[in-house]
A and B are shown apart, each in its own frame.
Chain A
């Protein structure tokens, strides 16, 4: 068996592009230290393609793929997975339906066969549909009055009003109740297709064996047909402050502004800027000002969100109702300072040092590596991105940061949603 292979050297992990005889491409890291195989895959097409009046179809589809396939009903399928400790899961987001598979090497054939069945021949038995429907609705009700969930839901409703991204990806109890088997079959046909999928495989399996398995699983899928177009969108209602009333002692806050997509050349400077403002280390400005100095909140931070047709920067915190105004003032202040003065040279250097140094930490387990590779493939950044990425971060200048701050913060206004009973808002 032949497989075309090209190798990359200067990256945190040794990745090869593997193309099977049947033409299925996968990014492959071969490592036999641990006797397992981790697979991550992402199909283009997700909740944004739900029927307009029935949000929740893509997520319900993701939950039904392992509920019976081929000759196995749900219970028989689950028993085959469990009997060999094969872990298979699916999920759906706005733009994609993805999943992961983990298996011991000795059960690889069975694991890939179950993956093939789940993707190519799901049964959508009526009893399984009803069970998953009931579970989904129970899950939605369980979270219905959670302040964090309420704030997030309202944030998307307002920020992307009239756009598919504004609809709840998991649907509502009413919309989920209305989903039919035909809806699920149609969504399955639209999304699960060749040419629509990116695959990454990490673990103790050689190229030849993997090629054959890839052909079996993905090679047999139907050819992709074009999906409905999702119009480009920008975050709306910037400048609004919205309260979702809920009788709780602490308010949950979501705030958002413009973003820069991962594929945009301006992304890396924005990523560095975000790290300085509210990235996930104890050193960020918001962590220092909101939490360390003032004890306003336990958690505070910001992140860049990159969808296929929109990008935004959004942040989160939660503080007792009496201190909401103070917390928002501190956050707005820090953004204004970053816009007008920029970070100090030292602050910029430290941020770059962190982002460069910590990149390798994301490549220390097979599952993490597979997931990261599949994401990079899905974003179309190229297999060399892993090797290029740290140099891109290293090259960011103060001028790049200023440009990013202008694009993201603009005039400093935000869309703010507060769930709770804040005083003085």
Chain B
């Protein structure tokens, strides 16, 4: 419920494309006030998923106000002049609908899932809270407490979450991807109504939004409904500007440790600073995507076979790549040591295995298997209108095009062995890395 989503799973970053003739027959257009619209028909059940995405996330938080994007996401449920706090949720619930929202580094999104005949009602409410949020002083303090409890739940009581935060803070020396989406505790505590209102006025505009409707609808119907609801929201003249610094070229291999008496099972994590689907040149993002699958996607991956099956030095090992990001992003390698194996010994073993990627990991079968799995995921995703809505919404929110999403499987299919070797050699290097140890401390 109102989650600060951490898009670390590949599923979040994966994209869809038309393969085997099974893709959605989607369409897109832009309203006069600048709101982008995507329609993804799925007529199997009389249900629609209605999502509005805003092109602002935690990486757009003003300095000193970390967590404001996420806090505002919570406050968006607090009512407008026309619809007091809680009314929208009551209406959704009374219609048998479901709703939620989430904040990520690059975007914030709100959604409802309802019977198709209620789509217009959802649009009316959502368009209303795009500009008419009241933000009465009385709702600010309790909701800030809710967010503080959310942070306590997710981070303050969990040493592994603390390690993840510390590693990101270390990997990104300059870019706000190093700041947690939910914000730092001491800054959340100081967030107030003015911060929220300033942020809201800056980012919640039609030009900054993307409406995605998936389900039992047609393009014409959505266009008509969107025109008569969202279409009435006045444009601001231009899309808000996102100020994003670029990471400098990294030079320092970094090692950090979180030691806590609660830790009974140590773990090892490694992050590398790598280009994202938006910053990569020469198709490096497709190579990195496939590389992560070949070396770290499940029990037939190179890392698992070497470290778990052959050497028995780890009980688990894998890798993932967060391709979906506006700026340079993270590639993660992780391993869980077997009983009696130190994190130092495990790290050494991981480094040995990573060095042999170009010579040993890239046999034709392994590459083919990884491609099959990635492409199949895009077909599986067509089974879920919510997944499709998320895939297209998140892609557009970071500046990708529908065509790029569609082409994704073809791009993956055409990655060559040499591309993988080259990506591994250029990006999985110590100077780009942060290594994290989670271990037990004396109480």
Contact = CB atoms under 8 A, between A and B. Distances in A.
A356 B376 contact: no
A135 B316 contact: yes
8 contacts: A78-B299, A82-B373, A250-B153, A252-B157, A295-B142, A320-B149, A357-B94, A420-B157
Nearest to A147: B157
A228 B42 CA distance: 47
Interface string A230-257: 0000000000000000111110100000
Nearest to A355: B96
Among the interface residues A102, A295, A360, which one has the most CB atoms of the partner chain B within 10 A? A295
A142 B380 contact: no
A281 B305 CA distance: 44
B356 interface: no
Given A144-B265, A283-B86, A363-B45, A138 B157 contact: no
Contacts of B152: 249-250, 318, 320
Contacts of B93: 281-283, 350, 353-354
B31 interface: no
Nearest to B374: A85
A319 interface: yes
Given A131-B309, A250-B156, 19 more contacts: A33-B44, A34-B22, A34-B383, A36-B379, A75-B305, A78-B299, A82-B300, A82-B369, A83-B369, A138-B265, A142-B265, A144-B264, A281-B89, A292-B142, A296-B145, A299-B1, A350-B90, A350-B93, A358-B98
Contacts of B141: 295
Contact of A357 (B97, B312, B373): B97
Nearest to B338: A134
A364 B384 contact: yes
A306 interface: no
A78 B297 CA distance: 12
Contacts of A135: 315-316
A295 B384 contact: no
A361 interface: yes
A410 interface: no
Interface in A54-109: 74-75, 78-79, 82-85, 87, 102, 104
B298 A78 contact: yes
B96 A357 contact: yes
Residue of B95, B113, B115, B146 with most chain A CB atoms under a 10 A cut-off: B146
Contact of A364 (B47, B89, B90): B47
A298 B262 contact: no
Interface in A335-382: 350, 353-361, 363-367
A332 interface: no
A35 interface: yes
B77 interface: yes
B157 A142 contact: no
Nearest to A275: B93
Given A144-B264, A248-B156, A356-B96, A283 B90 contact: yes
B146 A360 contact: no
Contacts of B114: 357
A306 to B, nearest CB: 22
Contact of A141 (B44, B47, B265, B368): B265
Given A12-B45, A292-B86, A357 B149 contact: no
A82 B315 contact: no
A172 interface: no
A394 to B, nearest CB: 12
Contact of B142 (A13, A141, A294, A350): A294
Given A31-B44, A75-B305, A134 B376 contact: no
B12 interface: no
Contact of A138 (B298, B336, B373, B379): B336
Most chain A Cβ neighbours within 10 Å, of B77, B115, B149: B149
Contact of B315 (A102, A134, A365): A134
Interface string B256-267: 000001111101
B316 A138 contact: yes
Interface in B83-142: 85-86, 89-90, 93-99, 113-115, 141-142
A213 interface: no
B309 A75 contact: yes
Interface in B140-160: 141-150, 152-153, 156-158, 160
Contacts of B372: 82-85
Most buried by A among B93, B115, B141, B261: B93
B383 A367 contact: yes
A54 B379 CA distance: 42
A110 interface: no
A68 B277 CA distance: 38
B153 to A, nearest CB: 5
Contacts of B47: 360-361, 364
A35 B379 contact: yes
A78 B299 CA distance: 7
Interface string B328-355: 0000000010110000000000000000
A281 B92 CA distance: 9
Nearest to A293: B142
Contacts of A75: 299-300, 305, 309
B385 interface: yes
B384 A361 contact: no
In the A-B complex, list the 9 residue pairs whose CB atoms are closest, starting with the nearest: A357-B96, A295-B145, A85-B376, A295-B142, A298-B150, A141-B265, A145-B262, A250-B152, A142-B265
Contacts of B96: 353-361
A74 B312 CA distance: 14
Contacts of A350: 90, 93-94
Contact of A297 (B44, B146, B384): B146
Given A292-B86, A354-B94, A366 B153 contact: no
A364 B45 CA distance: 6
A357 B115 contact: yes
Nearest to B375: A85
A295 B146 contact: yes
Contacts of A35: 20, 22, 379
B85 to A, nearest CB: 8
A145 B142 contact: no
B361 to A, nearest CB: 15
A208 interface: no
A202 to B, nearest CB: 9
Interface in A285-324: 288, 291-299, 318-320
Contacts of A147: 157
